[in-house]
Chains A and B, each alone.
Chain A
Amino acid sequence: MFTKLLKHDFLQSGRLFIWQIFGCAAVGALVTLLSSAKNIGAAQFGVAMLLNLLLALIAWAAQLIGMIIVLVSTNRAFFSERGYLLFSLPASSEQVLLSKLLCNMAWLVLNSLVSGGLLFVMMRNFSNLAHNISDEMLEQLPPESAEQFKQGISGLIYFPSLGAVIKFVALMLVYLLVVYVLVMMAAIFVLTVSHVRPFANKAGLWVFLFMIITGVGSGLFIGLGTKLLPEVQPFQLTLFSVEGSVNATAAPNLTTGILMLALTAALFCLTNWLLKRKISLK
C-alpha cells in the first residue's frame, strides 16, 4: 500500500514539477549557449551578464514556486474534497502522511539541485565570459583593472579536486534532505492544525504557530550550516566558490542534524495524531 501511495503521490506532484525542472534546464542551456560566443564586445558582454543574472533570479523563483506547489497540493490532497479520495483508501494515516512527506521532499530536493545547477551554470558562464571577452574591450580599461576584472570573474569557480566536489555535493544533499524534511513536516503540521477546531478559521493563531516552528527550524538550520560549513553563510553564492569547496572537506557535526530530525519526528507524531483523531473533512 505504501509503495502505491508513493507512486501516485510522486506522479501527481511530478505533473507540475517536471515542467518547472525542464523549463529551468532549458533556460540554463539557452543562456549558456548565448554566453559562449568568442571575442565578445561590450554590448554582448552586458547582455550576457544580464541574462546570467536572470538565471539566479529564476533559480530562487523556482525554489519559491516549488515550495508553493507542494504546500498547495498537500493542502488540497488532505483537506479539500480530494481528501475523500485519499482518506477513503485502505491505508493508515501514518502511510498517507509519510508518503506525502517523502514525495514532497524528493521533488523539493530535485528542484533544489536544478536551482543549484542553474547557479553553478551562471558562475561558469561568468568565468567563460571573462575568457571570451574581446581584446578591444579590455584595451579600453586600465591594464591593472582589466587583469583584476578577469581574475575576479574567472576565480568564481574553483574546486581543488574531484573528490572535494563529490564530497561537497554529497554534503549539500544531506544538508538539503535534513532541512527539507523539517520544513515540510512543519508546514504539513501547521496546515493540519489550521483545519482542527478551535484553530480552524483563526488565521492569526496558526500563522503565529508557523512562525514559531520556522523560527526554531531556521535557528537549527543555520546552526547545522555553520557546523557543516563553518566559514560559509548558508544561501550565499560563495557555497560554490573556493571557500565552499575547501570547507566541503570539513567533518560534519551530526548533533544539530539529529536535533532537527528529532523535531521532525515529534511533528510527524503530532500531525498523525491530529489526522487520526481531530480532522473532519468538510
Chain B
Amino acid sequence: MENQNLVEIKGLTKSYGAKVVLEDISLTLPAGKIIGLMGPNGSGKTSLMKILTGMINDYSGDVRIDGQPVGAHTKAIVAYLPDKSFLPPWMSCQQAIGYFGDFYANFEKEKAFRMLEAFQLDPKQKVKTMSKGMQEKLLLLLVMCRSAQFYVLDEPLGGVDPSARQFIMDTILNNRPQGSTILLSTHMIYDMERVFDVALMIGRKQVLLNDAVANLEAQGKTLDGLFKEVFPYVY
C-alpha cells in the first residue's frame, strides 16, 4: 500500500547505558523526497539511521517504514550506506555484485558492472587491496544499483574532496529511481542546501526541525543560517 509518509516514528527513545541520545521523539518522513538529516556530532543521526535499517534493536517506541515495523520486509525496500566499510576483505568487486544480486530482487547487476567500469574499478580487485576511496565508490555503487524505495545514506560526503563530493552527489541523484526517498546525513549543509527537499535537524535528544526547505526559504531562511541558529553552542 502506498503511504504518503514513508516513515512513521512514535515515542522513540534510544540510550547507550545512562546516556540518552534520542528521547521520546515522534516524526514522519514524506515519500519521494530528499531529506537532509543534520545535527552536531553525537546528536543521534547515525543512531536514528541504524534504527531505521535494523542495525540497532535495543530501543523503545514504534518505528514503521511503509507501514511495517523494521524487519525483513523493510530491509527489502531500504538501501543503506553506513559510514563504514562492511565488505569482507577477501571479496572482489564482482563477488560483491554477485552477493547483492543474489539477495536483493531490486538489484540491477548489469547496471552495477557498467558503473564499475565508469568508476574505473577492476571487477577482480579484492576489497583488501582497495584504497579507502575505492571502497567508498564500490559501496556507493552497490547501494545505488538497487531500485529501492528508501535510501539511507550516512555521511556519504564525509572526508572527501570537493570534486569527489560532486561525483558522489551526481551518482546518488542520477541513479535514484523516481519516487524514491533519500535520507542523507551530512555536515556539508551549505553545499547540500539546493538538493534537499526536507530539512530534519536533531539535537539535544529531540527533533528540532522537520520542515520543507521551500517553507524555510519562503521565510527568508537558509539551512546554513538556521543550523547556526538552532545549534548556537556548536560555534
Interface size classification for chain A: 20 to 34
Q: Is the CB of B58 within 8 A of A81?
A: no
A15 in complex: contacting residue of B76, B78, B90, CB < 8 Å? B90
In B65-107, the 8 Å CB interface with A consists of: 71-73, 75-76, 78, 80, 82, 84-88, 90, 99, 102-104
Known: A15-B90, A89-B75, A92-B71. A277 touches B58 (CB 8 A): yes
B55 in complex: contacting residue of A4, A15, A83, A276, CB < 8 Å? A83
Q: Does B56 contact A (CB under 8 A)?
A: yes
- B186 — which chain A residues lie within 8 A by C-beta? none
Q: Does A85 contact B (CB under 8 A)?
A: yes
- A33 — which chain B residues lie within 8 A by C-beta? none
Known: A92-B71, A197-B17. A12 touches B88 (CB 8 A): yes
B84 in complex: contacting residue of A84, A197, A198, A279, CB < 8 Å? A84
Q: Is the CB of B86 within 8 A of A276?
A: no
Q: Is the CB of B86 within 8 A of A278?
A: no
A81 in complex: contacting residue of B54, B73, B84, B104, CB < 8 Å? B84
Q: Does B57 contact A (CB under 8 A)?
A: yes
- B72 — which chain A residues lie within 8 A by C-beta? 1, 90-92, 95
Q: Is the CB of A90 within 8 A of B84?
A: no
| Interface-centre pick from A84, A85, A88, A276 (highest chain B CB count, 10 A) | A88
Q: A190-224: contact bitstring with B at CB < 8 Å (1 yes, 0 no)?
A: 00000011100000000000000000000000000
Q: Is the CB of A281 within 8 A of B90?
A: no
For the complex formed, measure the closest distance between the CB of A195 and the CB atoms of chain B, giving whole angstroms: 11
Q: Does A38 contact B (CB under 8 A)?
A: no
Q: Does B205 contact A (CB under 8 A)?
A: no
Q: Does B53 contact A (CB under 8 A)?
A: yes
Q: Is the CB of A87 within 8 A of B103?
A: no
Complex: how many Å from CA A232 to CA B84?
A: 52
In B15-60, the 8 Å CB interface with A consists of: 17, 50, 53-58
B54 in complex: contacting residue of A1, A12, A88, A278, CB < 8 Å? A88
Q: A82-112: contact bitstring with B at CB < 8 Å (1 yes, 0 no)?
A: 1111011111100100000000000000000
- Identity of the chain B residue whose Cβ is nearest the Cβ of A76 in the assembled complex: B88
- Identity of the chain B residue whose Cβ is nearest the Cβ of A15 in the assembled complex: B90
For the complex formed, measure the closest distance between the CB of B13 and the CB atoms of chain A, giving whole angstroms: 14
- Identity of the chain A residue whose Cβ is nearest the Cβ of B87 in the assembled complex: A85
- A85 — which chain B residues lie within 8 A by C-beta? 86-88, 99
Q: Is the CB of B57 within 8 A of A280?
A: yes
15 interchain pairs, CB-CB under 8 A: A82-B88, A84-B86, A85-B86, A87-B54, A87-B55, A88-B53, A88-B78, A89-B75, A91-B103, A92-B71, A198-B17, A278-B58, A279-B58, A280-B55, A280-B58
Chain B residues close to A by CB (< 8 Å)? 17, 50, 53-58, 71-73, 75-76, 78, 80, 82, 84-88, 90, 99, 102-104
Chain A residues close to B by CB (< 8 Å)? 1, 4, 7-8, 12, 15, 81-85, 87-92, 95, 196-198, 275-281
